[in-house]
Structure 1
């Protein structure tokens, strides 16, 4: 039998090209690259327009970000740094400043409208109330930056107080009694100032003087308003001005200088008075603390803690 080789069989397989779903991945990478480039150029632009102080704050932030972020700053409103926190405090944007200014202007307008309505109501009362019609010449009502000022002015024919005294005359009491319920209708608080002419006392400022008299007259007016129904806590300040603020163009001894001034305060003026009071309290507390250290510390010294003072001395 003749030998024969087996036939060679060649099998060719065609590869099928499978479409994958990631054929657009390069677009995402390209978009990420463009975003990074835009951010880079934004950072470069911000650095180019920043002043040296802002650049220093920026460098401090990246050197110690935690310390800068947690630092409260000296004054939160005195912001000059672009980084929250830091030595200068938080940045106040232009929008925030505009917003605060708008709120402030809105409050001022509201105050002015409220006080203008009060002025109109008092003017109407002077016309409609028979008790006050003859007293219109004694009342001067004007709008000033700090509020609505109502001045009750004396005259030679009708003095408001007994001469040299803080006792209120009947017609002055009628004016205050008529004003009290109207003043209650507005939320604004008020201050009362007393004024006198320059008629001196025998001892001048060394004894009872126009300073005491003007203050006592202002306080008598306060009592009369409260008795007529003025709400408690409505008055924030009583002051005596003596003869230091005369009416314009009036002689120093003119009766018009003897007057009581009721000032219905704007909220801004009230805040200034309260701020002044808070600052005075802070100074008083600090001074008291320092005095306590001086007085108490020696008393608590170990060698004197159980010392019994001599009889009759402390």
Structure 2
């Protein structure tokens, strides 16, 4: 029997090989990640630097791109949006995209500011005149200024014992001459046209020529006011309309016999109202040059 302790000891050494080469795929993935991060930060920067109107345009585009495409112009909501819309923009000046607000809107805003400034200036002038002339101070309550749809309205109303005109007549009282001439100077400071209208109370006109009513009286008083404004220096071409309303548009509807219903109303017209009046009167738009050219001789 052999001794096991005398057996040779064999040691097996297993040599493990190193990791194999993985190639460059990780570099491509890393480059894609860096590119995505750069795009993300660029997007954040753009969103932080644009206006709210542009953001709304982008939001509207992704919410309903078909609607934006059909709307035309430069996008949704704002005229300066990033996304350009399709279709035909009727207000465009050149090409497809309109630039800025339509001229009519810009002109309307300028018109409103101009008439508001005229109202403030008129109020300041009347305050100064009242301080300088105690006689004019008693007529302050007869002047009423307000902004209406057609523009700035200046009304001179009657009081019980202080009418603008002699009873049943279109002859102006002395204070009315002075007020109308002061107004004439102010009206020349703006390019706007002017409309004049006369009003009476509901008292029936008595005496005079047959058929002479409050309609005729209000019309004649409006025309007398027109003449006085021109005497005060108002350019004749600025007066666009003169009419009489009789007693059908009372200032005090609860008391149609109230003296304040007898009044002269002067409206400094905004451009839109002026255009409407001219259109109603039958004024035609300028015809194209070809239409106005004389026909060729045959």
Is this contact kept in 1: 2:152–2:268, CA < 8 A? yes
Rounded to whole Å, the distance in 2 between the matches of 1:168 and 1:202 is: 19
CA drift of 1:177 comes to 1.1
Which residue of structure 2 aligns with residue 217 of structure 1? Answer: 221
SS at match of 1:115: helix
| Partner residue of 1:174 out of 178, 185, 204 | 178
Runs of 4+ in 1 over 6 A off after TM superposition: 203-206
Which residue of structure 2 aligns with residue 109 of structure 1? Answer: 109
User: After alignment, is 132-141 or 183-192 more displaced?
Assistant: 132-141
User: How many residues are paired up?
Assistant: 193
Deviations 1:262-299 (A, max 9, x none): 0000011000111112269xxxxxxxxxxxxxxxxxxx
| Residues 92 and 134 (structure 1), Cα distance of their counterparts in 2 relative to 1, 3 Å cut | same
Q: How does 1:71-110 map to 2 (within 5 A)?
A: 91-93=88-90, 95=92, 102-110=102-110
| Partner residue of 1:159 out of 156, 159, 163 | 163
Rounded to whole Å, the distance in 2 between the matches of 1:197 and 1:279 is: 33
Is this contact kept in 1: 2:168–2:205, CA < 8 A? no
Which residue of structure 2 aligns with residue 125 of structure 1? Answer: 125
| Partner residue of 1:271 out of 270, 275, 281 | 275
Rounded to whole Å, the distance in 2 between the matches of 1:144 and 1:273 is: 15
**Runs of 5+ unmatched residues, structure 2:** 1-65, 67-86, 285-298
Q: How does 1:58-77 map to 2 (within 5 A)?
A: none
CA drift of 1:249 comes to 4.3
Rounded to whole Å, the distance in 2 between the matches of 1:98 and 1:133 is: 53
Rounded to whole Å, the distance in 2 between the matches of 1:257 and 1:248 is: 6
| Residues 205 and 120 (structure 1), Cα distance of their counterparts in 2 relative to 1, 3 Å cut | same
Aligned-residue CA RMSD (Å): 2.6
SS at match of 2:168: coil
**Are residue 227 (structure 1) and residue 231 (structure 2) matched?**
yes
Rounded to whole Å, the distance in 2 between the matches of 1:250 and 1:198 is: 12
SS at match of 1:278: coil
Rounded to whole Å, the distance in 1 between the matches of 2:126 and 2:279 is: 35
**Are residue 183 (structure 1) and residue 191 (structure 2) matched?**
no
**Runs of 5+ unmatched residues, structure 1:** 1-48, 50-81, 83-90, 281-314
Is this contact kept in 2: 1:194–1:215, CA < 8 A? yes
TM-score normalised according to structure 2 size: 0.60
SS at match of 2:147: strand
CA drift of 1:145 comes to 1.6
The structure that is helix-richer by fraction is: 1
TM-score normalised according to structure 1 size: 0.57
